[in-house]
Structure 1
């Protein structure tokens, strides 16, 4: 399981190397609500596609290696270390207005990220860049939710009074 101190270590490592990353997924929701609400098996990170070579080199130096994933590139890729820490990495192409897009498939489809999707939250009292509650809700649509997904959406409803579809 991915612990808060490990999240902060990975974020500090990437930040010190000059990689812009935002926490997404379950850890991103925990950052938004400002507390750890459940166990996490991985860490989802959003990054600038043009910084990907630096990000990969930094992570490889820290002992992470790329492993097969589905869906894989260009949508996302996964890196893990010998201790079993797994990073789910999502490359974004940013526009001059601060918005971004992520590949959705091999056929040119994209996921939109409005400029206001990029906010800050707290993990163990440390401010971290993360995705907004609205963007988190957007990504939790169109599939059968797991118990973790239901838990995460409940956290956002309780913390922000927003509507989710489950």
Structure 2
């Protein structure tokens, strides 16, 4: 694997183990969620995307800081509910913070223009390097890879998910 920011499966497992030690229930998003759902690594990943409860941010920070991932990586479009932490070298964690509503649904984003999704959106289960992980449900992983011009990684990930889970291929991927 090449490139400055390449995260290996073993590093993902190490980070998830540290987060679990603080009893923060995260769900994988992005490319690692896709590969977890597929049960194998299908491409290189530059970061680890995680959904996490906003109320557990302190404990998530503690877990990641214990692994050296303790610096904010400024990124266009950063918001208080979505930002990247890094270790100063090659590990990056892209956090997506949500709040659980009284009815169980999840709210992501601002109070003005956020989105609300069912809790089942983060109800997927997969595997990375032999470790069972929580992740986005397949149909939601596909949905969140649409609505913008597909990148090369999206063109790789979405057809694999659609094929494996018998999800109709979105028009922009035809």
Structure 1 length as normaliser, TM-score? Answer: 0.92
Instruction: State the match for 1:60 in structure 2.
Output: 65
Instruction: State the match for 1:50 in structure 2.
Output: 55
How do 1:83-122 and structure 2 match up within 5 A?
83-103=89-109, 108-117=112-121, 118-122=123-127
Contact 1:66 / 1:79 at 8 angstroms: preserved in 2? yes
Across the aligned residues of Structure 1 and Structure 2, the Cα RMSD in angstroms comes to: 1.5
Deviation at 1:107, TM superposition (A): 6.4
For the residues of structure 1 that align with 2:103 and 2:16, how far apart are their CA atoms?
25
How do 1:122-141 and structure 2 match up within 5 A?
122-141=127-146
Cα shift readout 1:97-123 (whole Å, capped 9, x = no counterpart): 4320110xx562112321211221111
Cα shift readout 1:53-85 (whole Å, capped 9, x = no counterpart): 111122123211122122112340110113311
Deviation at 1:151, TM superposition (A): 0.5
Gapped runs of 5+ residues in structure 2? 1-5
Contact 1:42 / 1:88 at 8 angstroms: preserved in 2? yes
Gapped runs of 5+ residues in structure 1? none
For the residues of structure 1 that align with 2:74 and 2:111, how far apart are their CA atoms?
20
The total of aligned residue pairs comes to 164
Contact 1:97 / 1:115 at 8 angstroms: preserved in 2? no
Cα shift readout 1:3-50 (whole Å, capped 9, x = no counterpart): 111111100000111111111000001011111010001110000000
Cα shift readout 1:134-162 (whole Å, capped 9, x = no counterpart): 11122112111011101100110121111
For the residues of structure 1 that align with 2:162 and 2:10, how far apart are their CA atoms?
26
Contact 1:113 / 1:135 at 8 angstroms: preserved in 2? no
